[in-house]
Chains A and B, each alone.
Chain A
Amino acid sequence: MSQQGYVATPPYSQSQPGIGLSPPHYGHYGDPAHSTSPPGMMKPAGPLGPAPPGGILSPGPPPPGPHQFGQNGAHPSGPPPQRFPGPSPASGAAPSYAPYPPSAQQSPYTGSTSTSSVGQLGSQLGAMHINSYGSGMTPPNQGSPGPLPAASLQGPPRPPQPSILQPGSQVLPPPPTTLNGPGASPLPPPTHRQDGPPGPPPPNAQYQPPPLPGQNLGSGYPPQQGNYGPQMAGPQLSYPGGFPGAPAQMVGPPQLPKKLDPDAIPSPIQVIENDRSAREGQVYATHTRGQVPPLVTTDCVIQDQGNASPRYIRCTAYCFPCTSDMAKQAQIPLAAIIKPFATIPSNETPLYLVNHGETGPVRCNRCKAYMCPFMQFIEGGRRYQCGFCSCVNDVPPFYFQHLDHIGRRLDHYEKPELSLGSYEYAATLDYCRKNKPPNPPAFIFMIDVSYSNIKSGLVKLICEELKTMLERLPKEEQEETSAIRVGFITYNKVLHFFNVKSNLAQPQMMVVTDVAEIFVPLLDGFLVNYQESQAVIHNLLDQIPEMFANSNENETVFAPVIQAGMEALKAADCPGKLFIFHSSLPTAEAPGKLKNRDDKKLVNTDKEKILFQPQTNVYDSLAKDCVTNGCCVTLFLFPNQYVDVASLGLVPQLTGGTLYKYNNFQLHLDSQQFLNDLRNDIEKKIGFDAIMRVRTSTGFRATDFFGGIFMNNTTDVEMAAIDCDKAVTVEFKHDDKLGEDTGALIQCAVLYTTISGQRRLRIHNLSLNCSSQLAEVYKSCETDALINFFAKSAFKAVLHQPLKVIREILVNQTAHILACYRKNCAAPSTASQLILPDAMKVLPAYMNCLLKNCVLLSRPEISTDERAYQRQLVMTMDVAASQIFFYPLLLPIHTVDVKSTALPTALRCLESRLSEEGIFLLANGLNMFLWVGVSSPPELIQGIFNVPSFAHINTNMVSLPEIGNPYSQTLRMIMGIIQQKRPYTMKLTIVKQREQPEVVFRQFLVEEKGLYGGSSYVDFLCCVHKEICQLLN
């Protein structure tokens, strides 16, 4: 692999002034001009600072050619010199086997070190678990043989210590079959293997190594493929090499049958469980600057004591490096994932509302930051110094208060804005559009009544359900009824508006056929109070299905529908939300007309990005208009074929709406899922017409934003609406030095309109530490947040760059972050050791999951719409959602204690964790699978499915029968807990072992090699390790 080419290139996030002025490759996906990076990479003495990891590579041969990746070294066929300077073992030693040179006898990066370490990566990796898990956790592989206690226990007792792979300390023994305990039966032979090893077959078929990445990894991560594929010299050397565990040098294939034990590498589940056991159920108070909160998977009570709850803001690192040089060196993205409207559990305090009357919030004169705990009162309380810009402001007379002996205002604890991290301000007219108080928002329901929707019964279903759902429009707690007004539109090729004014005897329908220039035909009576117009609305909802029962209109329009809704809101001068129920590609003659452009030939080419881009710019400008008018679009899609999600989904995405997709919607199967989604979406807590501004203390600033947002300039994040499930990821960059004592302060202010039409400001404050010690930085990182950031930035980049490049960048940055740690923070050790920072122990595991997400996999087998859909979903995910999305939750059901109400301990997403005798539940936030082993206990099957045996289980069900026995109750309770608070209703699929649907299920066993490509975790870790080693050299 040639990642070392990347070493010096800017990581994803950090702009690197040192590398010339050209836009950094990573930070700017769209920018092909990363040609200036090689110098930085090649010349350690360059501006990169004292010890760029790549520095050691300095005198390497020049890049092979001018082609783009040659410079960065990441080109598939590039000759290795640059990567393997000096001895160039990879080539010299007739590389052992394809994917992972580390396992070669002459590992390139170990070339200069002890011979003993040569080719011992396997053992190192094998040992890794010892160190990483040793720290107070029970190693999962208790059954593993002796070496464990023997050598490598230096690390374990220090939990915060990084995991260290001790070189040579452990030779990975052939994994005993009992390694994983009862469930660890031999892995089923990977069905996906396409080509067997060319060499002699492994002696032990049960331990077949992972397939050759170079050959059949597909798009797992091409660099690997690219670099190693060509190097496979001889048949014997091309022996499945994912598997670096050769204990001996120069081992021949027969001696390398052992696979690196997955249990020996850092386990995400273990990390989660550790954090749980340490912090679950505790009170987490936010008084301390820069403290790392519990993981998203840990349930604890959060007490606001001056910093925003992690439910609102999570950061990738809670200690920022002091200088940009350090940041560049570490390449850890500095980002915050902000979920301003996060739902707060009932046992935590809701936000206080501060109302200063007509004067409005107190703000710093210079930077306009809002009064917050970071303001320092001085001169007896007459003035205060802004924590963000250091400007000294006069305290407004009405706000004056004396200070106590420690310089704190006497009313410190009485004013939320002085003592809390999060609170709300009542906004004054200055904060309103046109200086007028806003009108309460409106919901407009827009139903596609074309033939297919009528025929599938969807229209009837929607109309029926709306009658009850409208009773539950969101309202302020103190209000009796909702202030939200509702309106209805149906459409096919033309639009039908409905007048449902309360004084009408029957609704009136107004057909607008001029879709080229859509307009709103009525004002009065279109948006009505549901309670007042209930009779007319019910009348209408009863009639809609009949009215179009005989329609045979197949064509639909789409952009005019959104336009109509937006114009209606504009005319009514209120913000609002459109609920669009749509099913087909809009082919009727109208603006935004789309054609089927799903071209599988584009997959895996540089043009693949086109598939993710909208077909026309109509939707772009429409989205802009929508945001300007506070019009949020939520789209429910019911496609039976390609509908161009990339185009249709653009407006929902940019307007802070949600896209729901139900492939091949069938009324009897999918209606529950859809209705739950619809119900949740209607009831969601939501703010409209929002503008978010993220202010920071001096020395750094917010530079990039990801999410369901729209930006007209570089600082104001505009959102037509933002609901409780939407998160915005904000990236920060240095523009100066940060002080260790002042720390880094972040204030996120969201100006929005409530559901009752009040204008409010929601303020979240967070203070972070700063350090000039990289170790401190590494210690404070949060992997879940990092993955959230990486996912969003990569998925955004998908629009502009070839996927291959993106994948390479991700792999490289991972390696780089870890290499930097290794180089700067870890205790000196052999270069071949894989040492992972404690906080990033599972970064490779998660990164691998991200890499094999279907968006980043260039495979024609995956539907284009599905990829576009998932791409869009991820863009607004918060940390919890991205965590479970990329690393699904796998729960054993057969071993559950039916008396306990807690969730069982999750399992790693490995095939070896499944057992024929068991039933397992897997959830990723979108889908839920109940996997039933062929030998599952009949009483369990009876208890859950109410059928006598495995054979009787009907896999067509989408919900479990409600049976009164403990198994059923417990399982349904577990499913309920998992579903709770998830933005999307997960569709349940029953998977019987060894039946066809299992293929789908297996894709979610993310630590395994993917069906459509993507390497296993083990392989990936090896790959990363190799990268690191190269970097270190």
Chain B
Amino acid sequence: MATYLEFIQQNEERDGVRFSWNVWPSSRLEATRMVVPLACLLTPLKERPDLPPVQYDPVLCSRPTCKAILNPLCQVDYRAKLWACNFCFQRNQFPPAYAGISEVNQPAELMPQFSTVEYMLQRGAQTPLIFLYVVDTCLEEDDLQALKESLQMSLSLLPPDALVGLITFGRMVQVHELSCEGISKSYVFRGTKDLTAKQIQDMLGLTKPAMPMQQARPAQPQEHPFVSSRFLQPVHKIDMNLTDLLGELQRDPWPVTQGKRPLRSTGVALSIAVGLLEGTFPNTGARIMLFTGGPPTQGPGMVVGDELKVPIRSWHDIEKDNARLMKKATKHYEMLANRTATNGHCIDIYACALDQTGLLEMKCCANLTGGHMVMGDSFNTSLFKQTFQRIFTKDFNGDFRMAFGATLDIKTSRELKIAGAIGPCVSLNVKGPCVSENELGVGGTSQWKICGLDPTSTLGIYFEVVNQHNAPIPQGGRGAIQFVTHYQHSSTQRRIRVTTVARNWADAQSQLRHIEAAFDQEAAAVLMARLGVFRAESEEGPDVLRWLDRQLIRLCQKFGQYNKDDPNSFRLSDTFSLYPQFMFHLRRSPFLQVFNNSPDESSYYRHHFARQDLTQSLIMIQPILYSYSFHGPPEPVLLDSSSILADRILLMDTFFQIVIYLGETIAQWRKAGYQDMPEYENFKHLLQAPLDDAQEILQARFPMPRYINTEHGGSQARFLLSKVNPSQTHNNLYAWGQETGAPILTDDVSLQVFMDHLKKLAVSSAS
């Protein structure tokens, strides 16, 4: 058998699942002693070019409380045409269509290599996708122009039958009617008045004749463009109209006096967008795309007043409980987010401004609905333009890389219970036998709703082993988990992706080695980080750090090899060796540290951290650093100040930023213009190499990172210096007398100090 590393990789590629432990401790007590919970990172829609969807409905276990889906782990009696559910052991008849199965004629879902199967459902009305643009008009002229162009361009990227709508806002909110000939028509709302969904629908004239519509709907799915058609129209019909309309879009015409912010009714605009979709297309795939260039300054959801002399809240204000409007605004947006999630729609936020735009308050809109959050300086930057364009990229099948209205249903075998999930989801509050009472993340349910997701959207799912210590699981027993993701594909089909995984149970006392060897420290780091970030949303920062530290110490105590009270004897096995380092960088990361970040930035970083897959998450925790020099090919180097050398070019990827840093000598050479001299062409190539690599990253990533090209002594070099391990600071620089590396002017502890402390604490018999 291959190594665990290969096993893990193979499983990830096939199922999009990575567990913190790949061999599970067989009792509750042992599991808690493992410190890192049994958990997994699940990427429900992981791209599987090799996995064509099957064109029929899944076979469900007939037990009403189970309803697990037939999978390779089920016992099948081919002669009796029976199968036993591996979760509840219910024996089920195969449906008539399976009459012909035999050992040699198996349906795909029974083959072991198809632990993940995607079903294409045959029923259900197909509603076109809906894109509702909610556009701020309180922008600078060139910003607005750029945004208009981006939006116009996006029309060509949308599926032709997609419904599209436009709401603009400034001091007022305008809902544009798109089907008008000869005159452009819009419904206008006051930006200060909080309206209920019913009021909005009444005012937009969407109140349908309730009864007939309910009955008529299943019968005549053809008549879909009903009442809402005025505001949501198929792109192919109105793209000319809408292009013109967008073209004629003016800046908010209301005068803004000196010393004031423009009045921006983001709260009401979003509320109307939500109400509009809620009333017309509940439970269909829809994106509300909010483009805003500043903080909401009036009405419900107002984040800051219009007086410029009152600055927008900072972390300092929040800690001092000085953010007067924050709670109210947050409540407003949470209410909207929950309503949106209930309706299965998602909200994207594209916020481009130099100052904060209220992402802190609005974050739940994107977080709870699986929408995107993009933060930039201006709509007139490639960061926004590229990012926005990337939303509409297509996969190998030519389908949009987005899915809607998903529900994730998790079944576990009896020894396990579900503790919770962390990711862009909301609980559906489905209690069941496999739901744990202990919550980690969003818990208390076995089903979650993920209104918008893409192939990289990843959830952290936390489990609890409930098997009692005195009721051991027989040797060789396996625990199983089934993830059922029911979603609307971008081609508007309903699909179900079923992933069934199983892992061996092991007795932690006798087989600790096995368990240890099956530890996935990368997944564990990310899963612990998610827990930490989740806690940070509601707890004080220092408490979270202490909790993380304690967990780390306990883990080292459990799995380290050492002699008591002898720090120097401390060793960690290979499968754990990187974990403390991840924790060190996590502690310094913007996800847990708010220093030097605005509340909006923190929200933005956390948003992305809670949804990216493992690789990206690790980059976020511990940025990667490449070195380019004449001494050899490009190589990854330690994220350490000692890596900053004069004759190197460094490329750092923090996920949010790509930094190219020229060492002192290189920078001087470049200044001297050597790269332009034919005899120094190799220098030119050296300069070019990191640029090319950076481009490659920029091309692929969503959202597009901020691209920073700097050099030794440049002001932007701070992006690099703040990330590297401060192994050399002004405190210890001369102690060693070394010349390598660049000292970092910080009082932060370095990784070495951190490790020293860790060892000391781990081996201490006192704790």
> A-side interface residues toward B, CB under 8 Å?
494, 497, 504-514, 517, 519, 521-525, 539-540, 543, 547
Contact = CB atoms under 8 A, between A and B. Distances in A.
Contact of A522 (B182, B185, B253): B253
Sort A-B residue pairs by CB-CB distance and give the 8 closest, nearest first.
A521-B188, A513-B203, A524-B253, A509-B185, A511-B187, A510-B188, A508-B184, A519-B190
A861 B309 CA distance: 68
Contacts of A522: 172, 188, 253
Contacts of A512: 187-189
Contacts of A511: 185-188
Contacts of B180: 509
A497 B186 CA distance: 10
Given A507-B183, A507-B184, A539-B183, 8 more contacts: A497-B188, A505-B244, A506-B184, A510-B188, A513-B189, A514-B189, A522-B172, A522-B188
B193 interface: yes
B642 interface: no
B185 A508 contact: yes
A489 to B, nearest CB: 12
11 contacts: A497-B188, A506-B182, A508-B184, A510-B174, A511-B185, A511-B188, A517-B193, A522-B188, A522-B253, A523-B255, A524-B253
A517 B254 CA distance: 19
Contact of A540 (B183, B190, B193, B205): B183
Interface string B143-185: 0000000000000000000000000000010100000101111
A512 B190 CA distance: 9
A508 B182 contact: no
B186 A513 contact: no
Contacts of B172: 519, 521-522
Contact of B183 (A506, A513, A523): A506
A509 B184 contact: yes
Given A517-B193, A521-B172, A525-B253, A509 B186 contact: yes
A519 B191 CA distance: 10
Contact of A504 (B190, B204, B248): B248
A577 to B, nearest CB: 23
Given A521-B172, A523-B254, A514 B193 contact: yes
A543 B253 contact: no
Contacts of A507: 183-184
Interface of B: 172, 174, 180, 182-190, 193, 202-205, 244, 248, 250, 253-255
A523 B256 CA distance: 13
B188 A543 contact: no
Contacts of B189: 512-514
B276 to A, nearest CB: 13
Contacts of B182: 506, 539, 543
A547 B188 contact: no
A523 B170 CA distance: 13
Contacts of A539: 182-183
B174 A521 contact: yes
A775 to B, nearest CB: 66
B243 to A, nearest CB: 13
Nearest to B204: A513
Contacts of B255: 523
A505 B180 CA distance: 14
A519 B253 CA distance: 15
A523 B251 CA distance: 12
A702 to B, nearest CB: 42
Nearest to B174: A510
Contacts of B185: 508-511
A552 to B, nearest CB: 13
B206 to A, nearest CB: 11
B183 A547 contact: yes
Contacts of B244: 505
Contacts of A508: 183-186, 248
B183 A543 contact: yes
A506 B241 CA distance: 12
A506 B190 CA distance: 24
Contacts of B253: 522-525
A217 B237 CA distance: 73
A731 B174 CA distance: 52
A517 B183 contact: no
A508 B184 CA distance: 5
B193 A513 contact: no
A523 B254 CA distance: 7
Contacts of B186: 508-511
Contacts of A497: 188
B281 to A, nearest CB: 21
Nearest to A540: B183
A539 B190 CA distance: 28
A519 B180 CA distance: 24
Contacts of A521: 172, 174, 188
Contacts of A524: 250, 253
A519 B193 CA distance: 11
A150 B205 CA distance: 86
Contacts of B202: 513
A512 to B, nearest CB: 5
Contacts of B203: 494, 513-514
A351 B369 CA distance: 72
Contacts of B205: 513
Contacts of A506: 182-184
A514 B185 CA distance: 16
Nearest to A542: B182
Contacts of A543: 182-183
A525 B248 CA distance: 13
Contacts of A547: 183
A521 B173 CA distance: 9
A507 B202 CA distance: 25
Contacts of A523: 253-255
A839 to B, nearest CB: 60
Contacts of A504: 248
Contacts of B188: 497, 510-512, 521-522
A509 B193 CA distance: 21
A494 B175 CA distance: 15
A504 B186 CA distance: 15
A555 to B, nearest CB: 13
A567 to B, nearest CB: 11
B52 to A, nearest CB: 49
A539 to B, nearest CB: 8
B248 A505 contact: yes
Nearest to A519: B190
A61 B193 CA distance: 70
B190 A509 contact: no
Nearest to A499: B184
A494 B204 CA distance: 10
A507 B248 CA distance: 11
A884 B174 CA distance: 53
Contacts of B184: 506-509
A731 B463 CA distance: 92
A540 B184 CA distance: 11
Interface centre among A504, A507, A509 (most CB of B within 10 A): A509
A229 to B, nearest CB: 60
A533 to B, nearest CB: 14
A517 B190 CA distance: 9
A506 B183 CA distance: 6
**B183, B185, B253, B255 — which one has the most chain A CB atoms within 10 A of its CB?**
B183
A506 B186 CA distance: 13
A517 B202 CA distance: 15
Contacts of B254: 523
Nearest to A495: B188
B191 to A, nearest CB: 9
Nearest to B245: A508
Contacts of A514: 189-190, 193, 203
A512 B188 CA distance: 5
Nearest to B189: A514
Contacts of A525: 253
Contacts of A494: 203
